[in-house]
Amino acid sequence: MATPIIALESIRKTYNEGTAVAQEVLHGVNFTIQEGEFTALIGPSGSGKSTLLNILGLLEPASRGSYCLNSREMAQASEDERTRARLSTLGFIFQFHHLLPAFNALENVQMPGLMLDGDYTSARRADALALLEAVGLKEAMLKKPNALSGGMQQRVAIARALALAPKVVLADEPTGNLDTKTADDIFALLRRFNQERGTAFVIVTHDPRLAERCDRKISLVDGLIAEDQRIR
């Protein structure tokens, strides 16, 4: 079997560690993500999904356990190494988009390249234009977020997440604040990029319909994996 992009082993997370109010929210999580997998991460509120996604995204460290990203152990990585790994390997899609309001759609999609390269480049601009065209927003490239609908903003966010050709995209409730038709369209767009580019996706969702359309479903309950089911 190929080396996984992500490998978690015995991941634990404790907040306020060493104090009287210490609380462990992840109790030893194990799983791997292979190239091209399309995985739903589900579970009730308070199950630890957001904490786990933050650890996967290198936004906060685990308290214990091993997290290998591209075969590199992240526990001992410096902050600069974690930032570079985030930019080069991971893409992020959030429920509320987090687009920068002062910048237009094209500039928002170019932002990861600016963070990685330190400057705008013609190659990054061409890639951003191609991605906006792929998500059906080429004509809206000069519009700022407040001139776009919620579904259009999410399409810009998807293009931004794919700007540096990440191996895996982490999506936190990417359809949670959209109507059913727009949510279905966004899901189909993620699926298309998964199939055409081989990008792996880990999608946190409360929507059982969307979870059932993924290839794999990981259920997190009380900080532990209750089920890891390959649907197809």
The CATH number that applies at residue 32 is 3.40.50.300
Q: How confident is the model at residue 106 (pLDDT cuts 50, 70, 90)?
A: very high
Look up the domain containing 34 and give its range. 6-230
Query: Distance (Å, rounded) from C-alpha 199 to C-alpha 190?
Result: 9
Asked if the model's pLDDT at residue 207 lies above 90, the reply is no
Q: Is residue 12 part of a domain?
A: yes
Least Cα distance to 74 among 30, 25, 11, 164 occurs for 11
pTM: 0.89
Report, in angstroms and rounded to the nearest whole number, the Rg of the chain calculated over CA atoms.
18
pLDDT at 129 over 90: yes
Where residue 146 falls among pLDDT bands split at 50, 70, 90? very high
Residue 129, domain member (yes or no): yes
**Which of the residue ranges 33-37, 98-102, 165-169, 180-184 would you say has the lowest mean pLDDT?**
180-184
Classify the phi-psi angles of 125: left when phi > 0, otherwise alpha if psi is within -120 to 50, otherwise beta. alpha
Residue 225 within any structural domain of the chain: yes
Instruction: Give φ, ψ of 184 to 5 degrees.
Output: -65, -40
Would residue 1 count as lying in a domain?
Answer: no
Region 41-53 average pLDDT: 89
Alpha-carbon distance values, 29 to 188, 216, 223 (Å):
29, 16, 8
Return d(Cα 156, Cα 150) in angstroms, integer: 10
What is the number of structural domains in the chain?
Answer: 1
**84 pLDDT more than 90:** no
